Structure 1
């Protein structure tokens, strides 16, 4: 591969979206007792994150290969490397397979449970690309399940037993991922409004997606609040002050809804989100407060 081809391959693997895989590493942040006793577990969490970056990157390559003809008709996706011809389909497939091979070789060092979650994530995305993304609501549920598998993979990467995993945290992960996915579909329907470019959009309505967005967003805030107030959480961290991080979650939810409703913006709301200064600042402050409350 030439340097130009490698750069095009990396672009196809969506570097701006790699931030989603921080969900794998997030488990180390909330596993205070484990990382305090074994600080090197943070390195395992980082390795797990890198594995999921490679797998998710390979999935993006697969999606772009399958959707290349439709992408060429899209106002934004037509500029993607495969759709624009910056990289050939054959080179993209070869690069994606290499990324998968590296990911699973590296992931084997984190144990069988981690590899099982990584494999489940890959299989889920294969079915998503071929079946789930064509069925309304099943598509967004599949996306949310992918984030759930990231969290579980992170738990297993640092050696947590199933009984040590917070199911409130799993619920929060699923809900926030579902919220992001519903918001993305709502934005696509408002901006694109064409089933020709994404078949599933014809099965949705703005009204139903708005309702789902508000319900899931509210449920996310409630679930996170219950997590911070649960006796298990307070006992594990030795403090009740995690509840002070709830307002930042609420601000993040509201800000994302504002971004979703920008009908004049053709970028995906998840792309807008990671470039939006108020959202990013709020996220960083939330993270800082969480670290202070747990470790301060």
Structure 2
């Protein structure tokens, strides 16, 4: 029984509608998935309907953009929270506004050297979708500057690039508390992904646990072996959930759906503890 608990649709920076993400999971033989678009729940209804059609379990979720006090970007997965919780809705709205302003600033820097405009970026953003650097990458691909999103990140959109612009976001601990208030289950996404930039310290992880962090995403292609061991040790000492997932983006990343998965026992714990929103479809524990 395998579940992929980190996927994206074109509601944020994936390349497929939510229904197609669910269909891809069904073709891969998964028992269920979580749809975790960046800072939005707009894809939930379509994904729920598709999951019921394909006989999959669907955990509605979200990936929340946060930042530590010393400027480290941290992504927090939230599962089964109340999508109408006022505090969380307000925080996400602010994050989405910040994403737009940041993308415009990055675009202006890129436009000094490459033939892209803000209009050419927006062409790659779905209606009401959460904008992000992958859409800037798509504009660079369309302009012939690079061949793929991955190449765009490797050359121009990484955190050490001269085109990089940081974004102000709520803290990881604030996000954790909001998710818990909304009845959701907060899990740290790819927390040791050093190839993406700086990662948090053990002390910072301990602060997140103190705030109520429920789990850590261990099996993710961007977590190196040493980072996985650190997360597993932390989980053992603090009785945290451990998850695995693909971080699927359709054609936007090379990560195939179901590349890493979460077992049924962990999913059962998430279902038992969440109070904000139900999962949809039949859960078969064995």
Shorter-chain TM band: 0.3 to 0.5
Higher RCO by CA contacts (8 Å cutoff, separation 6 or greater): 2
Give the number of the structure whose residues are more often helix, by fraction: 1
